[in-house]
Structure 1
């Protein structure tokens, strides 16, 4: 049985995640249908526009991490683009928003409906929803995700056998298809994929239910403002504060890992 603690949380306590888990095969089928059926133009647009880009989280070696999705900071992607008036090198705001909506309707109608239903009855608790793929050999350097009011759920969609795992604090945790792994990402962590196959999960970021919604919304808005100012293609997901600091190790009793991380 899984052992839960302050950073590895029991998914069963977050009942609003059940709708995602109950529909995991439908969600996986939408992902695989998109990968197999999307045109070259649709794929390029998706990776360039629908994916949050980080300027601070680094990988070891040349293997990459692919991420793209349909919900960011509680807004569907086409609304988010318009709200922040994002200008892309190849698309204006209106064009990017229209294309994003068309792709969402064409390929991810079921996922969008699950998100809408959950947020309707849970006061918009779901903030980000995107697909995350670890390509073979990926090794991401130690980092944090600096939002103390947010948890991150990973719903396993395509998980190969072998060493594909999340190192967080003193543990190495493994994803499983059709199941959620829920973490408090304010703790230092570094995932990897040492298999020869892609690993894909649905990332679901959500507010911690025990916090005042007014408080967490205010924090999120200020954090997103700063992140979008620094990097408009972050979609508010990544920022400079994700870089791990010495105090992160000390705070969680992991000072001994400072030298370990440098050695890596």
Structure 2
């Protein structure tokens, strides 16, 4: 196990994550209950509306990941859709918002309650909350998530044994069920799942607690505006700046990957 450093952070220094960790089994039960009980139509609506989608983060090969969530930029999904007046191919804004609210209330009441209480207690520190599933064979190309004012916590929910890991700078880190991995995603990283089973975590993006909140909100608003203009279905989570630069490969001793990644572009 790697020691903690500037990009692999000790979860104990973030007390607001403890409420999520204490409820990890209930959160996992809500996710697995949804996957078992949701109708085909509900699943379609979920991945159409609740899923942050990326046009910029690339995989090596055909295996993909899937994601859907209930909080984006500090707003529950139905509020976020209304604020940005997102229109979908199959739903107008009001219909999409109503369907998102119905799914959130039906399947994820406990998770929503935890989020709500933490953001009351810690002044809206939690920004994005979504489930992320790596399907077997997934290998994501080296990238960054450029927001120097944000950290990302992964709460392990379903983690198979074997080689499912996050490579970030010089470290290879492994998820564990019921525990957090916390990273500064402005450093280059590339996760993979070389097992035959799905891996699912709860992804929680949060402001760096010690930085001036107004500065953080200003940066977030500008970044989200740019990302939503380019891809409204990103829900402000992914964007064009989420690309590792050539100097990132070199700076972090990853130059051997550079030509390989260029060939896979």
TM-score range for the pair, normalised by the shorter chain length:
over 0.9
Aligned positions, number? 264
Aligned residue number for residue 86 of structure 1? 86
Matches within 5 A, 1:49-64: 49-64=49-64
Tell me, which stretches of 5 or more residues in structure 2 are unaligned? Answer: none
Aligned residue number for residue 67 of structure 1? 67
State the distance in 2 between where 1:175 and 1:85 align. 36
State the distance in 1 between where 2:260 and 2:124 align. 40
Q: Once the 2 structures are TM-superposed, how far is the Cα of residue 45 of structure 1 from its aligned partner?
A: 0.5
Q: Once the 2 structures are TM-superposed, how far is the Cα of residue 247 of structure 1 from its aligned partner?
A: 2.7
Q: Once the 2 structures are TM-superposed, how far is the Cα of residue 2 of structure 1 from its aligned partner?
A: 4.6
Q: Give the secondary structure class of the aligned counterpart of 2:47.
A: helix
- Supply the RMSD in Å over aligned alpha carbons: 1.3
Q: Give the secondary structure class of the aligned counterpart of 2:78.
A: helix
Q: Give the secondary structure class of the aligned counterpart of 1:106.
A: helix
Matches within 5 A, 1:123-162: 123-162=123-162
Aligned residue number for residue 22 of structure 1? 22
Matches within 5 A, 1:208-247: 208-247=208-247
Aligned residue number for residue 100 of structure 1? 100
Which range moved further: 67-76 or 240-249? Answer: 240-249
Tell me if 1:113 matches 2:113: yes
Q: Give the secondary structure class of the aligned counterpart of 2:41.
A: helix
Q: Once the 2 structures are TM-superposed, how far is the Cα of residue 118 of structure 1 from its aligned partner?
A: 0.3
Aligned residue number for residue 3 of structure 1? 3
State the distance in 2 between where 1:42 and 1:236 align. 23
Alignment CA distance shift 1:81-1:133 (3 Å)? same
The alignment's TM-score, normalised by the length of structure 1, stands at 0.97
The alignment's TM-score, normalised by the length of structure 2, stands at 0.96
Q: Give the secondary structure class of the aligned counterpart of 1:79.
A: helix
Does the Cα contact within 8 Å between 2:2 and 2:171 map onto a contact in 1? no
Alignment CA distance shift 1:95-1:182 (3 Å)? same
Q: Deviations over 1:223-263 (max 9, x none)?
A: 00000000011000000000111132345465455346447
Q: Give the secondary structure class of the aligned counterpart of 1:94.
A: helix
Aligned residue number for residue 176 of structure 1? 176
State the distance in 1 between where 2:43 and 2:212 align. 39
Does the Cα contact within 8 Å between 2:132 and 2:203 map onto a contact in 1? yes
